[in-house]
Every structure is written in structure tokens, then in C-alpha cells.
Structure 1
Amino acid sequence: MHTAVHAPASIPSPDWNSFDIGPLTIHAYALCILAGIAAALWLTSVRWKRRSGPEDAIWDIAIWAVPFGIIGGRLYHVFSSPDAYFGPEGNLWLIPQIWLGGLGIWGAVLLGAVGAWIGCRRSGVKLSAFIDAAAPGLLLAQAIGRWGNWFNQELYGGPTTLPWGLEIDSGNPALPPGLPADTLFHPTFLYESLWSLAGVVLLLFLDKHFKFRHGRLFWLYAAYYTLGRVWIEALRIDDAELILGVRLNVWTSILVFVVSMAFFIALGLKWRNTGEPRSVYLPGREPADQEPGPDDEDRPSDDQQAAEAAEPTPGGTSRSTPQGTDQSAPGDSPKEAAQEKNHNDTETQGGAEADHRASVSDTRSEDTSSTLDHPKERDS
């Protein structure tokens, strides 16, 4: 009796990556990128509104950040994998054809941040406040955008026998030679997508409980993403620049992780217990009718501030200083308060004496005036 041998389960690759609408060709890769951008803008707008940010600013910033991010991502890919464009058989006309795949996340983040800075300056809001609001959305965009690699059958990992191995068409030019046609590969696009989705949940949880501000949530996003990117990148077998036998993107991820953690810690030490207002606006750009948002719930209300101002201080005086009351500062000792009172009494007495001297002078002036007006009375 023979036991049937079942092939391991696997993830099939799609048999299409584009479709036509009249003369227009729609690429699945581009749709994934656009879907990721839309999802990121939606999540960012929700978080931005909760931080009392101006709603119109999201779209004003996106107009600058999105194009800059796409250009930056493409440039990073081109210069980190130059053979297809500048090599002996390279084709420079492939550079603008981003629908064929190839966007480097670090170029997208770097140049996208430049575009976001321009948009923030024009909208009068802080870049640090915006990137904190956008951090979970960036991971969401990456989680969705990675599925474009699945449609293009690109950027997969080495051979595997795991049940979730990825099927790749035998005619794929990136397929390593000499492997059986039914070889399965690590679905690195799926690993990164799931890692990014988990990061969205983690960042939202941490932000809710710790309220990271001043750019700290953004740097935490960068550290989290690169932590996963190091091992995911090490699984890939596509052509890449090597430094000391290690893929360039692995070195980049390690460097960005170290820098991100350094900024995260440094900013935490700088702003700890400062009590700085959490306004999203640049100094001098706040609207006159701005109301506190949910992030201001930990601030004391006006009634609480008034009650605190009326409480007696250790020096025995009230924090409020209405007219006609002793205005000694909180914490003054009785001796200092007495000295202040004597000083005030001296000033009051001096003022009274000056008033008296002025009154006598006026009286004498009047007498002299009367004498001059009646000279006969003076002679008699």
C-alpha cells in the first residue's frame, strides 16, 4: 500500500500584474502604492484632528510630501541597484517607469520629510507634530504597498520548504538558475507587510498610553521598521550592492536603527518634565479662537488655575495679589515681608511729606501774589 505524498501548501503568485482600460494600462503595483498612500492619509487625518490640527493642513502637506516621497524612493532604488540603469546593459529610460517596481523606503522617507517640512511651513504647523501623527500611517502605507511586489513577482527570499512558500513563474528573469521549477521561496513581501501591520498596532498602543511628542513617535517608527527590515532584507536574493559581503540595505537599516534610537532617547531627555505646551502650531501662527484638544486634557482648567492661585503658600500669603493687599511673593519669610512693608510705609510717608511741602509752597505763592496785587496794604 502506497501512502500519498501531498505537496506542501504554498502561496501562488498572480498570473497578471496589469490590465488595460482603452489605451491606458493600469499596473497593479501602482494601485498598491496609491492604496497605501490613501490609507496613510486617512489614518493621519484622524490622528491629526484629535490633536487639534487644522484639517486643511493635511492636504496642503500631502501635496508636497507625496511627490517628494515617490521621487526620493525611486532615486534611492536607482542608486542602490544601479546595474539595471547604468550597467553594461542598463537602460536609463527605465528610471521613470516606477510602475515596473523599485521604490526605496529610505529615499521616500528622507525626501518625503523634506516635502512635508515645506508643507508644514506653509501651513504654519510644526513638522515634529505632523510626523508624529503620520508615523502609524507610514507603516500602514508600507504594509499595503508591499503587495505590489507580489503582483510583480519580485524581491522574494531564498528557497524554502515552509508551507507558506511563494510560487514564482519559471520564466521569471530574477529566478536563480539551476533550481527545480516547483521551488518555493520566502515571501518577504508578506513578512514585511505583517511586520508593518503589527507596528501600526504597537505605535497606536504606545502613543495612547505614553503620548510621545516632539518627533519621538516618528523615530520610534523608524527604529521599529528597521529592526524588522534587517532580517527580512537578509532573506532576499535579488541583485543588490554589497558592502563587506552584506547587502547595502542591511547596513542602511542598522545605521537608521541606531540613529533613530539615539534621537528617541535624546528627545525624551530634552523634553522630560518641561511642561511645554503641545500646540501643533508654529510660534505666532496659532489661530485666535483655538480650543484645547484631547491632548490638552492633562492641563489644568481655568477654574483649577484660579483655585490654585487663591491657595495660601508656605510663606503665609495668597498667590492672588489684588489691589490694596500685601503683594509679598510666595515663600517670603516673615522678616522679608516686614522689610517689604516698612519699605512701602516709608515710601508712603515720604509721599505724604512731599505733598505737604507742595501744599505749603502753593499757600506761600498765593500770599505773595495777593501782596503784589495790593501794594498799599503792604506799606501800611
Structure 2
Amino acid sequence: MIGASLPSPTVAVWHLGPVPIRAYALCIVVGIVLGVWIAERRWRARGGRDDFILDVAVWAVPLGVVGARLYHVLTSPEAYFGAGGDPVRALYVWEGGLGIWGAIAGGALGAWIACRRAGYRFLPLADAMAPGLLVAQACGRWGNWFNNELYGRATDLPWALEVHRWDEAAGRAVTDASGAPVVVGTFHPTFLYESLWCLLVAAVIVLLDRRVQLRHGQAFFLYVALYCLGRSVFEALRIDTANEIAGLRVNQWVAGIIFLAALAAFVRSRRVNAGRGEVLERVPSSELPAATTPGGDTATQTGGPTVTASADRPSPDRDERPDAKES
């Protein structure tokens, strides 16, 4: 059935002189570029500052990579700190091994820092970024295809993935005496399942956001919940080595717990947040010196952007404080 299977690359690293060009890294970079572009469009549509998403990326991307690697190393420590392990290889991000849960946590921390520095609330930003994050993940999964890794159980389905015996150090398939790549079998292409699922969830979020006007935080929490739902299924298909708890892979437990938490947060956001509204900048009251106008009203003066909000409809994107004054 190999003739009816999907092919896998035999090379995942090319050399430009002494510089290695790794397909895994290229897939991640393409995903980041597409994710930032989509987030920028959604952020501008909500009234956000045009260049703010790039500011977010400066914080979110490196912290996301660090978080992703930390999660992988902490949940698979034997390869680095066990018998025969090499701790230095924990730094070899280009060889694969990035945990999505750590990436989301680290990236969210970076985005939160950027929001605090610029004076934006976090949830509207997270909503704007959710579909782009899913597209970025969909692109990143193709790095696993290039590396011939993280495939599922053996199968002879027409869309089965042909997998080669792989030399991780060289970044290419092992060859036999005749120079032909060694094929170990055909397996479920879990990378493809997850990539398509991410694109489907992104489309669902965009459609719902247009049809039913999701409240603050709901697009982001829906992204997390639906991704976890699909990931738990794909994780069950995978046969790569992983630590288990009570017969389930650690990632399945993590997916289940985060799914329940995201689902609860999605429901709560519907009750707590009044509506989507436009994105406005928040200026801390401590930075707004008060000034008395000729009419006796109190006004604020600041060198930054002016923020206004209707008295009968406070913006849900501002921090409401009893002592805050608006110009």
C-alpha cells in the first residue's frame, strides 16, 4: 500500500554554505508571519493601533519559543537528563520538540506584558490574535512532516503517511546500501489532521465572530477549547514515546484540563463582559494631571493619545477606576 500513501520528505536541512536552513524553522517562521498579518487585520478592524501587533510579537514570539521548549523538556526530561541523555541538547530547538501548551503560556505572557506597556486590555487583543495563532500552528505542524516525526499508528488507508527511518543529527532519511531512503511503514498523518483542524477552528471563530458578535475573551477561549478537543484525539493516535499517567499521555491530561478551564472561561465571559465594542487605549489616572477648565469642569491633559468614552456606554476595554478622569 506504500504506492497509495502520502509521501514524506527525505531531507529537512539544506546548507547555504556553512549555514544550515532547516525546514522545521522555516515552517515556524512562515506561521509567525501569517499569524501576525491576520492579527494585525483583526486588531485594526477593532480600532487598535496599526503597529501594535508588531510590538506584541517582539515580546510574544521569543517568550512563546522559550515556553514551548521548557514544556517539552519538562515533560520529556529523560532524553536530556536521564541515563545517556545530553542536557545541552535541550537548547537544540531546531531539532524539534516544542510543546504547544508552553508556547501558548509563554506567548500569552509576552502579549500581556506588551498590553501593560501600551495601555491595552489583554482579552480584546487575545480575541484578535486567536485565528492567526491557529493558522500559525497549522503551518508549524508541517515542520513535523519534514522531520518524519510525531506520526500516528500504522495504517493502510489511502491517505496514510509514508515515513522514513530518520537521522536527526543529519536532518535526512537513512539510506540503504543502494542509496535509497529506508521506509519504515505507513502511518496516520497526525500532523496533517492537526493542521486541518487548526484551519477549521480558525474559520469557525471568524464566522461566529461575524455572525453572533462574540464577547470579550470568547474568541480566545473558544480557540483554546476547540484546539484542546482536537488535540486530545490526535494525541491518542500518536505512537511516539511519551510519559503517561494512568494509561493516558501527559498531553492528553493537559488537553483535557485546559479544555474544561477554557470552556468555563468562555461561558463566564458571556455573563461578565458586556459586549465586544471597539478597542480603546487605557491611560492610567496617575499619569493624567488634572486641570480645571474655565467652565469649572475637571479635565485631564496628557501627551499621549486622547481617550474618550460615552457616559451611557463605558468602553469595556478600559480599566474603570473611581478616580479616573477622561478628557
TM-score, normalised to structure 2's length? 0.81
Contact residue 13 and residue 166 of structure 1 kept, 8 A:
yes
Aligned partner of 2:279 in structure 1 is 279
Q: Root-mean-square deviation (CA), in Å?
A: 2.4
Instruction: Determine the structure 2 residue equivalent to 1:199.
Output: 201
**8 Å CA contact retained: 1:158, 1:235:** yes
Q: Which residue of 2 aligns with 1:351?
A: none
- C-alpha displacement at 1:289, in angstroms? 7.4
**Displacement of 1:220 after TM fit?**
0.5
Q: 2:104 aligns with which of 89, 109, 117?
A: 109
In 2: Cα distance, 1:244 partner to 1:94 partner? 29
Pair 1:288-2:290 in alignment = no
Residue 128 of structure 2: aligned partner: 133
TM-superposed CA distance for 1:8, in Å, is: 5.1
Q: Could you say if the C-alpha distance between residues 109 and 223 of structure 1 is closer, same or farther in structure 2, counting changes exceeding 3 Å?
A: same
More off after superposition, 147-156 vs 277-286: 277-286
- Alpha carbons 2:282, 2:307 under 8 Å: kept: no
Q: Equivalent residue for 2:79?
A: 84
Q: Provide the C-alpha distance between the structure 2 equivalents of 1:57 and 1:161, rounded to a whole number of angstroms.
A: 48
Deviation at 1:227, TM superposition (A): 0.6
**Residues 31-110 of structure 1: pairs in structure 2 closer than 5 A:** 31-110=26-105
**Contact between 1:220 and 1:264, CA under 8 Å: does it hold in 2?**
yes
TM-aligned CA distance change 1:124 to 1:233, over 3 Å: same
SS in 1 for 2:161: strand
Superimposed CA distance per residue, residues 223-275 of structure 1 (whole angstroms, 9 cap, x where no aligned partner) = 0101100110000011111000110000100001100000000111112xx46
> Are residue 247 (structure 1) and residue 265 (structure 2) matched?
no
Paired with 2:309 and 2:272, the residues of 1 have a C-alpha distance of: 27
**Relative to 1, partners in 2 of residues 1:161 and 1:45: Cα closer, same or farther, differing over 3 Å?**
same
CA distance in 2, matches of 1:268, 1:40: 26
Match of 1:295 in 2: none
Contact 1:129–1:213 (8 Å) recurs in 2: no
TM-score, length-normalised on structure 1? 0.70
Alignment gaps of 5+ in structure 2 = 174-181, 286-303, 311-327
Query: Hey, what does 2:325 align to over in structure 1?
Result: none
After superposition, residues 289-304 of structure 1 pair within 5 angstroms as none
Alignment CA distance shift 1:291-1:39 (3 Å) = farther
Secondary structure of 1:20's aligned partner: strand
Check the 8 A contact 1:8/1:163 in 2, yes or no: no
**2:236 — aligned with what?**
234
Describe the superposition over 1:353-380 as per-residue Cα deviations: whole angstroms up to 9, x where unpaired: xxxxxxxxxxxxxxxxxxxxxxxxxxxx
| C-alpha contact 2:148 2:166 (8 A) present in aligned 1 | no
Equivalent pair of 2:124/2:216 in contact (CA under 8 Å) = yes
Give 1:356's aligned residue. Answer: none
Equivalent of 1:186 in 177, 185, 188: 188
Flag the structure with higher helix content.
1
Report if aligned partners of 2:229, 2:259 keep a CA contact under 8 Å in 1.
yes
Secondary structure of 2:14's counterpart equals strand
Return the alpha-carbon distance in structure 2 between the equivalents of residues 170 and 111 of structure 1: 33
- C-alpha deviation, 1:57, in angstroms: 1.3
Identical-residue share of aligned pairs (%): 47
Summarize deviations over 1:157-202 as a string: whole Å, max 9, x none: 01011111111114568x9xxxx95621011000000001111111
Q: Which whole-Å CA distance do the structure 1 matches of 2:149 and 2:275 have between them?
A: 49
| CA–CA separation in structure 1 for the residues paired with 2:255 and 2:211 | 27
Distance 1:23 1:181 in 2: 29
Go from structure 1 to structure 2 and tell me whether the alpha carbon gap of 1:7 and 1:216 turns closer, same or farther (over 3 Å shift).
closer
Contact between 1:143 and 1:193, CA under 8 Å: does it hold in 2? yes
Q: How far off is 1:288 after superposition?
A: 2.2
Q: Provide the rounded CA distance (Å) in 1 between the counterparts of 2:95 and 2:183.
A: 24
After superposition, what is the alpha-carbon deviation per residue over 1:118-174, rounded to whole angstroms, capped at 9, x for unaligned? Answer: 11111111111110000000100000000000011111101011111111114568x
2:152 pairs with 1:145: no
Residues 81 and 206 of structure 1: CA distance in aligned 2, closer, same or farther (over 3 Å) = same
Distance between the aligned counterparts of 1:181 and 1:63, measured in 2?
A: 41
> Which structure has the larger Rg?
1
- 2:51 aligns to what SS in structure 1? helix
Distance 1:263 1:171, change over 3 A: closer
Residue 244 of structure 1 aligns with an amino acid whose one-letter code is A
Structure 1 segments of 4 or more deviating over 4 A?
283-286, 289-292
Residue number in structure 1 paired with 2:316: none
Give 3-state SS (helix, strand or coil) of 2:38's partner: helix
SS across alignment from 2:236? helix
Checking the alignment, whether the CA contact within 8 Å between 2:222 and 2:262 is kept in structure 1 is: yes
User: In structure 2, what is the equivalent of residue 25 of structure 1?
Assistant: 20
